[in-house]
Amino acid sequence: MEYLDKQFGVIELINGPVVKGSQMASFKVNEMVTVGERQLIGEVVSLEGDIATIQVYEETEGLKAGEKITATGSPLSLHLGPGMLGNMFDGIQRPLKKIEEISKVFIPEGIGLLSIDEDKEWEVKLAVQKGDVLKPGHVYATVQETLSILHKIMVPPYLKEGTVVEVKPDGKYKLKDVVAVIEGKDGQRSDLTLMQKWPVRRPRPSGKRVPIYKPLVTGQRVIDTFFPLAKGGTVGLPGGFGTGKTVTQHQLAKWSDADIIVYVGCGERGNEMTSVLEEFPALIDPRTNRPLMERTILIANTSNMPVAAREASIYTGITMAEYFRDMGYDVAIMADSTSRWAEALREISGRLEEMPAEEGFPAYLPSRLAQFYERAGCVETLGGEEASVTIIGAVSPPGGDFSEPVTENTKRFVSAFLALDKKLAYARHYPAINYLTSYSAYIAMLEEWYKENVAEDMLSLRSKMIRILQEEEKLNEIVQLVGEDVLPNDQLLILEIARTIKKAFLQQNALHKEDTYVSLEKQYKMLVVIWTLHESTLACVKLGIPISTIRKQSVFEEVIKMKYDVPNNRIELLDLLCEKITLSYDALRQKYQ
């Protein structure tokens, strides 16, 4: 590495988180700097002549004109290595636990750059021998970071191919210990440690993209069955306040079948992050039987933390996600909420006195959103494995109005759109995902997978259910004008079945032990039960049996309550329920014939 003379600039202007400095011609855009005597952390966002504009990641109170700005020589980068899982970081990867040790309850400014713990010793297994040829992305050591996740240490993408000339034995090492040395063809030697650095704003390289074909199974019925998500896909989750965005994001973080979850609390409530910290270690991953915290990384920039770090937090999250993807894992990143991130862009843009576009947002909002969502994908890694990053971005449209710029632009770049609906939330229909306006473009790509792994007719049952719900919506317009009583029996039946779909299937209780996570198999069987109910009752209606009589059969109630009554480990009870439905309505028909 070339030796950089320390460079200094001088503060000229201070306006909230935006600082301008002079004599900074040798600084680079996106370079990290420290600002003022207390060495606040900042990043150069633009240069004009020798004047640099800097966004500061910490509170600027007390800063004076004339104080020094110091260059660090590198862009805002993360330390990537063991020690991230189960931890909570701020927007620029400073561990909040460590900050608490330094400063107790409140977060002060000027505590400097911290990152993952460099003093902790890890039990390392070396995976290479002298003479092995390593390319970027190849694994040379492993650390069992948590019982559920094996951390693979890879040759950083910025090194060239080389031959291993030195390798240490298995044993305990710290992050910056050299465990192997490779020599390139040009004879240049590079030390390999347990960590690498990567600038957050640059996507990590990977091999070619693999077409999407696997779902991200979430255990949430309305998602898995109606609007499935895909590994490597992008999802927008918009909803006004009180519609259950955060609960939905938490449910996805808990139950998605991704290997690693990166949860970015971007400009949200402090207590929500605390609840994740309290709740997740106690929750058990149904697939590995280990605490969910072992696969989770939390990034918290609560709404009262400095706004510039909020802008960075999204990039910090996605860079960590890509790093684990490069090991061959399926990673899902939840960003709650991207609107706060967009607003941070707007706030900083306003302070930079840039020309605003729609609703005061900067004109580059759509391109930033696109760049972010494009970092998702199912890829072949440099190491040759298949892996994915799925992005689930919550959007908080002001006033619940989906026509605002962030929602509109998000819609353009995501393929699944789960619209949270205020009216459903008011009726405590949770998850309040609107079953008529939401969509998932992954249905077609996942069809094969569902046929092979769940059931041949899963998706056709799904379409039938959706048709009933659409029909109900139309009938509801009539009902609102003239009441239900005037409808003929077959239409009344549609209303009843639609209600059953909503109550028994779409509504899912996140707080209920059996209902919080439901396997695909059980979801399918529940669909079959509802369809059986529809078929049997339709036959009764055709005979002229009044709806009230049909509705009174006790088996109807059983269907509505099956989500609570049938435990997840006894789903064969649903087959029995189907038989019972058929028998019960056969008997009813016989009485009328």
Partner 1 sequence: MRKEYLKLEKVEGPLIVLSNIENVAYDEMVEIKIDENEMRKGKVIKIEKDKVVVQVFEGTAGISTHNARVKFLGEPLKLPLSKEILGRTFNGMGEPIDGAYQVISAHKYNINGRPINPVARKYPRNFISTGVSAIDALMTLIRGQKLPIFSGSGIAHNELAVQIVKQAKIEGANSDNFAVVFGAMGVRHDDASYFMRSFEAAGVLDHVVMYLNLADDPITERISTPRCALTAAEYLAFEHDMHVLVILTDMTSYSEALREISSSRGEVPSRKGYPGYLYSDLSTIYERAGMIEGKEGSITLIPILTMPNDDITHPIPDLTGFITEGQIVLNRELNQKGIYPPIAILPSLSRLMKDGIGEDYTRKDHADLASQIFSSYSKVQDLRSLAQIIGEDDLGDVDKLYLKFGRAFEEKFVAQSSFENRSMIETLNLGWKILSILPQSDLDRLKPEQIKKYYKGKKE
User: Contacts with partner 1 in 26-45 (CB under 8 A)?
Assistant: none
Instruction: Please report how close the Cβ of residue 346 comes to partner 1 at its closest, in angstroms.
Output: 5
Of 194-202, 283-291, 426-434, 466-474: span binding partner 1 (CB under 8 A): 426-434
- Residue type, position 95, single letter: P
434-473 binders of partner 1 (CB under 8 A): none
- Dihedral of alpha carbons 94, 98, 102, 104, sign: positive
- 492-to-483, 486, 532, 546 alpha-carbon distances in Å: 11, 9, 17, 10
Among 184, 281, 356, 384, binds partner 1 (CB under 8 A): 356
The residue among 4 and 486 lying less far from partner 1, judged by its C-beta, is 486
When binding is defined by CB under 8 A, the residue of 230, 261, 266, 300 that contacts partner 1 is 300
* # binding residues, partner 1 (CB under 8 A): 74
427 binds partner 1 (CB under 8 A): yes
Contact between 261 and 329 (Cβ < 8 Å): no
Distance of closest approach, residue 107 Cβ to partner 1, in angstroms? 5
Q: Contact, 316 vs 309, CB < 8 A?
A: no
Among candidates 86, 143, 120, 520, which has minimal Cα distance to 291? Answer: 86
CA nearest to 164, candidates 177, 179, 183: 183
* Residue closer to partner 1 (CB basis): 3 or 106: 106
Closest approach, Cβ 480 to partner 1, in A, equals 6
Which lies closer to partner 1 via its Cβ, residue 399 or residue 544?
399
Distance, CA of 373 to CA of 375 (rounded, Å) = 5
Residue closer to partner 1 by CB (options 374, 557) is: 557
Residue whose CB is less far from partner 1, 399 or 488: 399
Judged by CB under 8 A, the residue of 184, 360, 384, 567 near partner 1 is 360
**Cβ 278 to partner 1 shortest distance, Å:** 5
Q: Which stretch binds partner 1 (CB under 8 A): 74-82, 199-207, 356-364, 536-544?
A: 356-364
- 304 is a site residue for partner 1 (CB under 8 A): yes
Nearest approach in angstroms of CB 286 to partner 1 is 22
Residue number, 55 or 196, with CB nearest to partner 1:
55
| Interacting positions 238-297 with partner 1 (CB under 8 A) | 240-242, 265, 267, 269-271, 273-275, 277-278
- Closer to partner 1 by Cβ: residue 344 or 545: 344
Q: Which amino acid is at 484?
A: E
- Shortest Å distance, C-beta 430 to partner 1: 9
Q: How far is the CB of 333 from partner 1 (least distance, A)?
A: 19
**Residue nearer to partner 1 on the CB measure, 176 or 499:** 499
N-term to C-term CA, the chain? 91
The residue among 65 and 543 lying less far from partner 1, judged by its C-beta, is 65
Q: Which of 344, 374, 16 is nearest to 203 (CA)?
A: 374
- 72-101 positions binding partner 1, by CB under 8 A: 88, 96-97, 99-100
Is 8 in a helix, a strand, or coil? strand
- Which of 503, 514, 521, 582 touches partner 1 (CB under 8 A)? 503
Alpha-carbon distance 541 to 505, whole Å?
Answer: 23
- What is the largest distance, in Å, between two alpha-carbon atoms of the chain? 97
The DSSP H or E segment spanning 424 is: helix 422-426
Contact (CB, 8 A) for 265 and 336 = yes
Minimal distance in Å, beta carbon 550 to partner 1? 14
Single out the residue of 275, 287, 211 nearest to residue 249, CA to CA: 275
Indicate the residue among 305 and 469 with the shorter CB distance to partner 1: 305
Chain positions 539 to 558 lying near partner 1, rule: CB under 8 A, are 557
Any residues with CB less than 8 A from the CB of 407 and at least 6 apart, and which?
Answer: 236, 238, 395, 397, 401
Handedness of CA 547, 553, 557, 562 (dihedral sign): negative
| β-strand pairing of 189-192 with 180-184 | antiparallel
Q: Which of residues 316-355 bind partner 1 (CB under 8 A)?
A: 340, 343-344, 346-347, 349-350, 353
By beta-carbon proximity to partner 1, the closer residue of 232 and 306 is 306
Structure tokens at 266: 């971007």
Q: List all residues 6 or more positions away from 40 whose beta carbon is below 8 Å from its beta carbon.
A: 34, 56, 57, 58, 59, 60, 63, 109, 110
Token pair for residue 389?
A: 């990053």
User: Can you tell me which of 59, 132, 385, 457 binds partner 1, judged by CB under 8 A?
Assistant: 59
Which residues between 386 and 405 bind partner 1 (CB under 8 A)?
396, 398-401
- Which of 536, 533, 537, 529 shows the shortest CA–CA distance to 575? 529
* Residue 192 is a binding residue for partner 1 (CB under 8 A): no
Site for partner 1 in 509-528 (CB under 8 A): 511
Contact 226, 462 (CB under 8 A): yes
Tell me the closest approach of the beta carbon of residue 448 to partner 1, in angstroms.
37
Torsion of CA 356, 358, 359, 362, to 10 degrees: -40
Among residue numbers 469 through 488, which ones bind partner 1 (CB under 8 A)?
479-485
Q: Distance between CA 176 and CA 191 in Å, rounded?
A: 10
Task: List b or e across 152-163, with b for residues whose CB sees 16 or more CB atoms inside 10 angstroms.
Answer: bbbbbbebeebe
* Cα→Cα distances 244→40, 302, 386, 566, Å: 36, 18, 33, 26
Of 360 and 384, which has the nearer Cβ to partner 1?
A: 360
| Closest to partner 1 by CB, 286 or 350 | 350
Task: Give the nearest distance from C-beta 94 to partner 1 in angstroms.
Answer: 11
- Binding partner 1 by CB under 8 A: which of 208, 428, 569, 591? 428
